[in-house]
Amino acid sequence: MTTTTHLDPDSTHHAAETVARLRATFHTGRTKPVAWRKQQLRALRRLLTEHEEVFAEALHTDLGKSATESHMMEIGFLVREIDHTLRHLDRWLRPARVSVPLPLMPSRAWTVREPLGVVLVISPWNYPVNLALAPVIGALAAGNAVILKPSEVAPATSAVLAYWLPRVLDPQAVAVVEGGVEETTALLHQRFDHIFYTGNGTVGRIVMAAAARHLTPVTLELGGKSPAVVEPGTDLATAARRIALGKFMNAGQTCVAPDYVLAIGEAGAEIEGHLVEAVREMYGTDPSRSNDYGSIINERHFDRLAGLLNDGRTVVGGDHDRPTRYIAPTVLADVDPDSPVMREEIFGPILPIIRVPDLDAAISFITGRDKPLALYAFTASKRSKRRLIAETSSGGLVFGLSNLQLGAANLPFGGVGDSGMGRYHGLYSLDTFSHTKSVLDKPLKPDTLGVATPPYTRRKDRILRRIT
């Protein structure tokens, strides 16, 4: 496990100074007015739409992403998230009246959302624009000051974020701190009002331990092995296309990508051919020449993935090339559930097919492992859908689709158990980045609390027992 003990004096000084500056801004109240929040969101929207090519270029440099995929999964996604937030923010921020129980009458009660203060967002490399800015949108909409720590593993994108954000957003309230372990460790020694971390579970534990020192609440958006259950009797050609789309976009480096196929009965044999067909349709016979197919982020991940390519019978793919960090979209069949490819989240373009005899076995397979971030199922049976909803636990459950569910702005996104804690997007981001304060206002007249005030007589006791 990585350690957080080394503290670099320069990074620490910079972190302390940045947090102090943002905290001072927050205390002036500058980030609270809805007008300020909307202004920030609009400025961010303008940046994304007017300079989309700058982000797309950085994403291509870091991950070989095509401009279309970058638009669909990152920039366009964020613009829609901003629009959704701007459209609903006034309503979301409206105080919500609640009723009061008889013993407290007459009085009025309601809830208000208040910003938390200074929020730290630590983001990963795989969707380095989306996963950095989607939490920032929520944090700003909720009226916080924000420090963003982008991933050093996607350096081109990190540099673009560090250059642009302070130029278009309020630099007294939003800061980008670039760097890796050292800089993040220094940040984590500071006190924040919320820490929003996206990445792997090992670092998630470090973040949570650091947050505990200051009693800072955390959101942990982690990963894990997300299964795609496939039942016979469904349209397997379409299912294969949708699984392949989710699996092979961004060369499989997607937290919600189907990690493996869990094929029931004869669907196991049938899906193989459809997956081969789907890969050919999307990327041609030589995916290394496709402009739409990405590369592996770095050599460390390339080597890790190359070591998994032989865990089973290769149905399609298997080719790889270290200098270009290319690993072909690969489907593996006859995979032993205990083999290395089935032990850890794959996070790359390798799709093992595990065969199980029936839905009972599929459900036991899923519930016998860590709770996944996403569970996908392709089935024509309403009963199977009901059973999967009721008998499994996962961050999200999606029928008939993979990955693109994240575009449904009204749905929360987050994990459960090993796949994380907390949720965001849309209204759920506002929940995450604000405190819901309860307010109760009871007039001093009439004085109705006599019965609750000692000395307690038998009469008071009788009345109290009746009304409470």
Q: How many CA atoms lie within 13 A of 201 on its CB side?
A: 17
Q: How far apart are CA 169 and CA 334, in angstroms?
A: 52
CB of 249 to ligand NAD, least distance (A): 13
182 belongs to the catalytic site: no
Strand (E) or helix (H) holding 133:
helix 130-141
- Longest CA span, the chain: 88
Task: Name the nearest CA neighbour of 220 among 16, 428, 417.
Answer: 417
Query: Does 152 help bind ligand NAD (rule: CB under 6 A)?
Result: yes
Query: Does 325 help bind ligand NAD (rule: CB under 6 A)?
Result: no
Residue closer to ligand NAD by CB (options 123, 434) is 123
Residue closer to ligand NAD by CB (options 347, 433) is 347
Q: How far apart are CA 427 and CA 56, in angstroms?
A: 28
For 285, the 3-state DSSP assignment is: coil
Q: Give the nearest residue (CB) to ligand NAD.
A: 223
Residue closer to ligand NAD by CB (options 193, 221) is 221
Q: How far is CA 93 from its chain centroid?
A: 23
Task: Name the nearest CA neighbour of 183 among 9, 357, 20, 66.
Answer: 9
Residues 185-214 that bind ligand NAD (CB under 6 A): 185, 198-200, 203, 206
Residue from 69, 183, 255, 345 carrying the catalytic annotation: 255
Task: Name the nearest CA neighbour of 370 among 236, 194, 204.
Answer: 204
How many residues bind ligand NAD, per CB under 6 A? 30
Task: Name the nearest CA neighbour of 429 among 83, 204, 161, 136.
Answer: 136
Cis bond before residue 166 (omega within 30° of 0): no
CB of 2 to ligand NAD, least distance (A): 3
What character string, x for contact with ligand NAD (CB under 6 A) and - otherwise, covers 79-108?
Answer: ------------------------------
Strand (E) or helix (H) holding 326:
strand 326-327
Task: Name which position in 2, 28, 238, 468 contacts ligand NAD (CB under 6 A).
Answer: 2
Q: How far apart are CA 37 and CA 429, in angstroms?
A: 14
272 belongs to the catalytic site: no
Q: How far apart are CA 22 and CA 330, in angstroms?
A: 47
Residue closer to ligand NAD by CB (options 207, 356) is 207
What character string, x for contact with ligand NAD (CB under 6 A) and - otherwise, covers 229-258?
Answer: --------------------------x---
Query: Does 132 help bind ligand NAD (rule: CB under 6 A)?
Result: no
Residues 342-401 that bind ligand NAD (CB under 6 A): 345, 347, 373
Q: What residue ranges bind ligand NAD (CB under 6 A)?
A: 2, 4, 122-126, 131, 149, 151-153, 180-181, 184-185, 198-200, 203, 206, 221-223, 255, 345, 347, 373, 415, 420
